Amino acid sequence: MSDKRRPLPLFAGLTGGAPRPAAPHLEQARRGLGGAYADDVDASLIGRFVRVAPHEGVVLHADATTVDVMVSAGVVRRMARARAVVLDDVELSPLRRRMADDVRRFAAMPAARRARFTTETGAEAEGLLIEKCRYGALVALDDGRVVALGFSRMIATVAPG
């Protein structure tokens, strides 16, 4: 399988200033977030630091045949899973440790629950996590809008009250 660059989505549709262009269609947003979270996700690799020569990075998503590895800020490579070597004994930089923690936290969030997230301005907001994707989520706001958020913007799901 060839290496492909996969830019992470950086839009949320929640700005405090000037209006943004029309929100992308849900299917476009889903594709921008790497596609739907597969049913056959291998949770044992999510958030682990791996080497997939010549790259090293944090696993965002893994299934039976592929791994999506964040190799640097905003750059994801999808590669054959058989090439991935877990590097548990390596000391992670603070940035890579935070990325791995963000990925594991997001992976543990169940869909169809209310969730908190950060807006582009850094404020916290809440909505219904309607769909998890490989690199983030589609979240329905109380006003009916749906926003696409990268995994690092997701804070936690909210316990039903």
A 10 A CB-CB count for 109 gives 16
pTM: 0.78
Residues 6 or more apart whose CB falls under 8 angstroms from that of 59 comprise: 45, 46, 47, 48, 49, 50, 67, 68, 69, 84, 103
pLDDT tens track, the chain, 161 positions = 445 554 544 444 444 444 555 555 888 899 999 888 877 888 899 999 999 988 899 999 999 899 999 998 789 999 999 999 999 888 888 988 898 999 999 999 999 999 999 999 999 999 999 999 999 999 999 999 999 999 999 999 998 76
Task: Please give the order of strands across the beta sheet that includes 124-132.
Answer: 146-150, 136-140, 124-132, 113-118, 154-157
Task: Map tokens 């010549």 to a residue.
Answer: 54
Give the residue among 15, 8, 25, 10 at the shortest CA–CA distance from 125. 15
Token pair listed for 94? 């603070």
